[in-house]
Structure 1
Amino acid sequence: MLGHLIQADEETQLITIYRIDTGGMPTLFTSVSFEEARKMGLEKFGKLLGENLILDSPKLRNLFLP
């Protein structure tokens, strides 16, 4: 896997995370509505977003988990 793309789409009101493979092709990973994120608050949503990215990335996951 090459990485992730985070898209905040004002038209659909969704924050979407895609996995990007080594060929550059995106695959849907997860999606959260603006309203859900707003209800969580900045700190909780930021933590959730960061944890999702870290746990989905083998190299980052190895930095934090045994």
Structure 2
Amino acid sequence: MLGHLIQAEEETQLITIYRIDSGGMPTLYTSVSFEEARKMGFEKFGRLLGENLVLDSQRMRDLFSL
């Protein structure tokens, strides 16, 4: 896997994380509505976003021995 793309999509009102494979192709990983993110608050949403990225990446899990 190459990485991730985080996109705030105005039309659908979603914050979406895509996995990007080594060929550059995106695959949906997870999404959260703007309203859900707003209800969580900045700190909780930021923590959720970071955890999603770390837990989805073997290299990041290795970095933190997860």
Q: TM-score, normalised by structure 2?
A: 0.96
| Structure 1 CA distance for aligned equivalents of residues 13 and 39 of structure 2 | 14
CA shift, 1:65, in A, is 2.1
CA-based RMSD: 0.8
Q: Note the alpha carbon deviations across 1:13-61, whole angstroms, 9 max, x for none.
A: 0000000000000000001000000000000000000000001011011
Where 1:29 maps in the other structure, the secondary structure is strand
Residue matched to 2:53: 53
Residue matched to 1:40: 40
Q: TM-score, normalised by structure 1?
A: 0.96
| Structure 2 CA distance for aligned equivalents of residues 65 and 50 of structure 1 | 16
Runs of 4+ in 1 over 6 A off after TM superposition: none
Residue matched to 2:16: 16
| Paired amino acid for 1:30 | T
Q: Give me the identity figure in percent.
A: 82
| Structure 1 CA distance for aligned equivalents of residues 23 and 10 of structure 2 | 27
